[in-house]
Structure 1
Amino acid sequence: MDFFTLLAALFLITLTFFLFFKSESKRRGGANLPPGPYPLPIVGNIFQLGKKPHQSLAQLAKIHGPLMSLHFGSVYTVIVTSPEMAKEIFVKNDQAFLNRTVVEAVHAHDHDKISMAFMDVGTEWRTLRRICKEQMFSTQSLETSQGLRQEKLQQLHDFVQRCCDSGRVVDIREASFVTTLNLMSATLFSIQATEFDSNATEEFREIMEGVASIVGDPNFADYFPILKRFDPQGVKRKAELYFGKMLVLVEDLLQKRQEERRRSPSYAKKDDLLERLVDVLNEKNEYKLTTKHITHLLLDLFVGGSETTTTSVEWIMSELLINPEKLAKLKEELKTVVGEKKQVQESDIPQLPYFEAVLKEVFRLHPPGPLLLPRKAECDVQVGSYTIPKETQILVNAWAIGRDPAIWPNPEAFEPERFLSQKMDYKGQDFELIPFGSGRRICPGLSFANRMLPMTVATLIHNFDWKLEVEANAEDVHKGEMFGIAVRRAVPLRAYPIQP
């Protein structure tokens, strides 16, 4: 952007803000808005976000309360930081907060109009949601594809065993990424996306992390709409690139499957989601979806499932390795229920209460999406004793709720035992623990994550002991975060597998 263009943009921002505050003052005159820090002219409260918004917003909420007003440029936002207020949003007023505000990056390739995660709730959204529920995440579908997942987990075990035999360190994030990618690609497409120690892994990682990071990165064009046409940070251009690469991969797989079915009279159907989606397209049935709907749905599932699962596996292993007494308790439970040398099966997981408690505790401390995906008020809504005006952006700080000392004794400590004496779950009904959201727009892949995540961790810890490459403590782990669509460790977790 040249100097004169920048001056023009700044002038327009100033004018826009003047008109914005003038109209807001008229529109909201007398409204009892939630309290919050005073916004600066033009920029509002942007500089109070910092590099770790989930933490900064948690600190501000301690001063201003569980329902807090902020201005991010021209975007008026309310931050929710208590279970009571979250329940008001997700249950009592769910209808008014069904739709989302959408960042500029998601407009790449019109993804915002076609993506189940971001589109407005309507006929198309309900159809896509129904397909996920009936075709991919039903109990029958997940049971049928169990053998595929077991095969990929065996590959993870064999890789760790080779590293153990050769005294080689394992990058836990890398191992989890390859495994998750292959689990997803096997379930969706009946293919193996990559191999351990393969150059192809780097290409996939670049695309996947590119999509995930570009959606989560701060972008001035989201806060100042006048900047959208200039794209000053190049976010939209990068998003077009990364989304484009992912869509090309998915479209190619879809076209090959369709061509294979057309050419072969004796074609044997594969037991994966892609096969069922091709059936949907061919039969022209009540779903009424296009090829574009299918490719964008697969992009959502592939990227969303891979990023959150990879990140969660790394956090679980991090907490277990810096808390060896908890790891020992978990290993003993696995040994007792599964047997010392047997491979863990999905049917074993419900018989492992301490393992379930470990998962809940990690979701409390490290929710995959700390601020969840944003919601938007469709009309003026009364929440608690405050008015939330139409078009307000809503962010629910699940990270802050999970560390609230009023809810959780000793909240910074990793204590899975706290969940052994209570029935609280993370499936959207207990608002003290909502890492996957709640209400009608809860994460559609939750049932899939419930199978993939514990099985990946169990494969890593059941037959191996671990020694950190660099010793760390809990304080180091919790400080070393990178904010994005999911919060990752700033430094990859690396450890040596050791034969017990």
Structure 2
Amino acid sequence: MELKQLTTFPFIFFLLMLVKISKKSRSTHSSSPLPPGPFKLPLLGHLHNLLGGLPHHKLKDLAKIHGPIMYLKLGETSAVVISSPGVAKQMMKTHDLMFVDRPFNLAANIMTYGSKDVIMAPYGEYWRQLRKICVLELLSAKKVQSLWSVRDEEVSHLIGRISLVTGSQMNLSESIFSLTNDITARAAFGKTFKDKEAFLSETKELIILGSGFSIADLFPSMKFLEVISGIKVKIETIHQKINMMLVDIINEHKEKRMKIGNIEGEVIDEDLVDVLLRIQEGGELEFPITMDSVKAVTLDMFMAGTDTSSTVLKWTFAELLRNPRVMIKAQAEVRLHFNGKKKIDQADINELNYLKLVIKESLRLHPPTPLLVPRECRETCEIEGYKIPKGSKVLVNAWAMGRDPENWKDPESFEPERFQDLSIDFKGTNFKYIPFGAGRRICPGILFGIANVELPLALLLYHFDWKLANGAKPEQLDMTEVFGSVVRLKQNLHVIPTSYSPS
């Protein structure tokens, strides 16, 4: 009996291998090849190729070898990496509908109440409805303009605080982060809200936990990894705390709306939560907005608004400190336009053409999300003659495209003037420059984010001259990156401000 089992097992194994080879052979003959990629290990796939460096750097290096469209096996998951404008255009414009979904992500799913937000919601009527609300109500040009006084007040407070420490060393990075926190919090929740510091602390921790590669996402069939890694419990614990605070915030807004509604002629000065509650109470939507939807969208806007704006502002200031020629030129423009004015408005900001070029150049070199928020292939299709399997995660390396010498002259240099005669904006129409994405899934908060960079940058340049602390020279500034939900400057900007007095 034992001998029979031993002789039978190899035979069964041989048959299984024949079936597997037969299936593979049939699929190979019936479809295009997968995109090229590096050597693959059993079980791990290509994960070893991403070790020892930042993901967007490692993927750029691999693309130099294997080409602008590359196939990687990351654990059990399939990924296609795009590193050229031409291929990105096919994926995000020509075949946009085929790549409009988001892949499942454990942390994001918990954070967004089961993907009920606008960033992670699956493509469909619910997502279209939410995006329409964001574009027309929450983040429209009119709404962003209405928040001018909020930005102006918060930036004025920052200028006042810096004025008290002129001539001394300060941590500009912390000041910028606090500023964008305060602006976004007021836009989302109003002038004051209970437990503000606790909310900021918990959301910061949530962003850190949810921003890395999770082993559970790379091996989705092995559910025990969610437990072993501890990531699920950690995120759920913090999210529960944030949820309780959001419930309190929403209830406070409901009470305020009821009180004001009972006073004839009284008008609500709407923040983001008020807008969502008004739309919810209207009851005219095809897909009613639940309280989880309100919380998910609110958390979306708060975390994305704070993280993105502060990151862009820090990188831009770092580049100005490292490039004194550009700093002097930007200051000259701001001081020429603002000189003698007691009050600055949006029209004044719109005249700062060079400042806008500086921000564009900063975003070319430092897109806040260098690997754009991943997309997922909805059906097996063909791009550039290669098969893209259904369910593949698609990673677009916007950072690599912004530094590609085939697209940009002297790509590593900080030269805002390169945009002087280029009709390139943030709207994702030119695929060599897509810091906020492109197509249907382009970031809906571009106007809000840029507004939160332009005014602070302009006034910081107007009111102060700047130099690095400890006698450091511009070329000594550490520009090392840290990878996360956004790519941050690793070291804080320690600077010495000096007050500027108009002659």
Q: 1:81 aligns with which of 83, 98, 109?
A: 83
What amino acid does structure 2 have at the position aligned with 1:105? A
Aligned residues: 473
- The alpha-carbon distance between structure 1 residues 352 and 263, as it changes in their structure 2 partners (threshold 3 A), is closer
Aligned to 2:209: 214
Q: Which of 238, 251, 260 does residue 255 from structure 1 map onto? A: 251
Show the 5 A alignment for 1:33-44: 33-44=34-45
Q: Give 1:153 deviation, angstroms.
A: 1.4
Q: 1:225 to 1:286 in 2, by over 3 A?
A: closer
Amino acid at match of 1:273: L
Q: Which has the larger radius of gyration?
A: 2
The TM-score, its normalising length taken from structure 2, stands at 0.89
The answer on 1:103 being equivalent to 2:105 is yes
The reply on whether 1:136 has 2:135 as its aligned counterpart is: no
- Tell me, yes or no, if the aligned pair for 2:112 and 2:300 is still in contact at 8 Å: no
Instruction: Report if aligned partners of 1:81, 1:401 keep a CA contact under 8 Å in 2.
Output: yes
- CA–CA separation in structure 1 for the residues paired with 2:122 and 2:212: 22
Residue pairs, 1:316-327, within 5 angstroms? 316-327=316-327
Cα pair distance change 1:27/1:61, threshold 3 Å: farther
Identity across aligned pairs (percent)?
A: 32
Instruction: Supply the distance in 1 between the matched residues of 2:24 and 2:114 (Cα, whole angstroms).
Output: 30
SS at match of 1:230: helix
| Structure-2 separation of matches of 1:109 and 1:177 | 21
**Partner in structure 2 of residue 233 of structure 1:** 229
Query: Which whole-Å CA distance do the structure 2 matches of 1:32 and 1:271 have between them?
Result: 54
Q: Is the partner of 2:71 in helix, strand or coil?
A: strand
| Contact 1:189 1:272 (8 Å CA) reproduced | yes
Alpha carbons 1:79, 1:396 under 8 Å: kept: yes
Residue by residue, what CA displacement relative to the aligned partner does 1:420-462 show, whole Å, maximum 9, x if unpaired? 1211222211111101000011001011112111112112221
- 1:448 corresponding residue in structure 2: 448
For the 8 Å contact 2:376–2:392, the answer to whether it is kept is yes
Conserved? CA contact 1:182–1:193, under 8 Å: no
Taking the aligned partners of 1:206 and 1:335, their CA distance within structure 2 comes to 37
Equivalents in 2 of 1:116, 1:24: separation in Å? 39
- Structure 1: how far apart are the matches of 2:112 and 2:453? 31
After superposing the two structures, state which structure 1 stretch, 395-404 or 141-150, moved more: 141-150
**Alpha-carbon distance in 2 for matches of 1:369, 1:350:** 26
What 5-or-longer segments of structure 1 have no aligned partner?
1-17
CA distance in 2, matches of 1:489, 1:41: 35
Encode CA deviations 1:307-343: one digit per residue, 9 max, x unaligned. 0111111101100011111100000011122226655
Q: Name the aligned partner's letter for residue 122 of structure 1.
A: G
What secondary structure is seen at the aligned counterpart in 1 of 2:91? helix
More divergent stretch after superposition (451-460 vs 94-103): 451-460
Q: Distance in 1 between matches of 2:54 and 2:301?
A: 26
For 2:154, the aligned partner's letter is: K
Q: Secondary structure at the match of 2:466?
A: strand
1:223 to 196, 215, 218: 218
Specify the alignment match of 2:238 in structure 1.
242
Separation of aligned partners in 2, 1:290 and 1:239: 22
Q: 1:332 to 1:466 in 2, by over 3 A?
A: same
Structure-2 separation of matches of 1:456 and 1:233: 40
Corresponding residue for residue 286 of structure 1: 285
1:324-473 correspondence runs (5 A): 324-339=324-339, 342=342, 344-470=344-470, 471=472, 473=474
1:47 corresponds in structure 2 to 48
Per-residue deviation at 1:300?
0.2
Tell me, yes or no, if the aligned pair for 2:309 and 2:450 is still in contact at 8 Å: no
Aligned partner of 1:113 in structure 2 is 115
Gaps of 5+ in 2: 1-16
1:248 to partner: Cα distance: 2.5
RMSD of aligned Cα (Å): 2.3
Q: Matched residues in 1 for 2:257 and 2:375: separation? A: 41
Distance 1:22 1:261 in 2: 66
What corresponds to 1:69 in structure 2?
A: 71
Q: Summarize deviations over 1:217-237 as a string: whole Å, max 9, x none.
A: 121111111333332222222
Q: Cα–Cα, structure 1 residues 222 and 117, in superposed 2: closer, same or farther, change >3 Å?
A: same
Tell whether 2:276 aligns with 1:277: yes
Q: Deviations for 1:340-392, whole angstroms, at most 9, x for unmatched residues?
A: 66554322222122111111111011001000100011111211221211111
Report the residue type matching 1:181 in the other structure.
N
What does residue range 293-304 of structure 1 map to in structure 2 within 5 Å?
A: 293-304=293-304
- 1:18-54 per-residue CA deviation (whole Å, 9 max, x = no partner) reads 9xx9899468524311111021111011121134000
Q: Would you say the 8 A contact 2:367–2:399 is kept in 1?
A: yes
Native 8 Å contact 2:150 2:183 kept in 1: yes
Specify the alignment match of 1:499 in structure 2: 499
Which AA in structure 1 matches 2:242? M
Q: Say if 2:436 and 2:443, in contact at 8 Å, map to a contact too.
A: yes
| Structure 1 residue 490, shift from structure 2 partner | 1.1
TM-score (normalizing by structure 1): 0.89
**One-letter amino acid of the structure 1 residue matched with residue 236 of structure 2:** E
Q: 2 CA distance for matches of 1:353 and 1:458?
A: 11
Please state how far the C-alpha of 1:286 moved relative to its aligned partner.
Answer: 2.2
1:205 deviation in Å? 4.7
Residue 398 of structure 1 deviates from its aligned partner by: 0.4
Q: Deviations over 1:155-183 (max 9, x none)?
A: 1111111222xx44332221111111111
Amino acid at match of 1:225: P
Q: 1:262 to 1:340 in 2, by over 3 A?
A: closer
Does the Cα contact within 8 Å between 1:91 and 1:439 map onto a contact in 2?
yes
Once the two structures are TM-superposed, the CA of residue 55 in structure 1 deviates from its matched residue by: 0.3
Q: Deviations over 1:468-500 (max 9, x none)?
A: 12525557533x110011000111112111113
**Structure 1: distance between partners of 2:312 and 2:318:** 10
Instruction: For 1:473 and 1:78, locate their aligned partners in 2 and report how far apart those are by CA, in whole Å.
Output: 38
Decide whether the 8 Å contact of 1:380 with 1:388 is kept in 2: yes
1:432 alignment partner AA: K
**Corresponding residue of 1:310:** 310
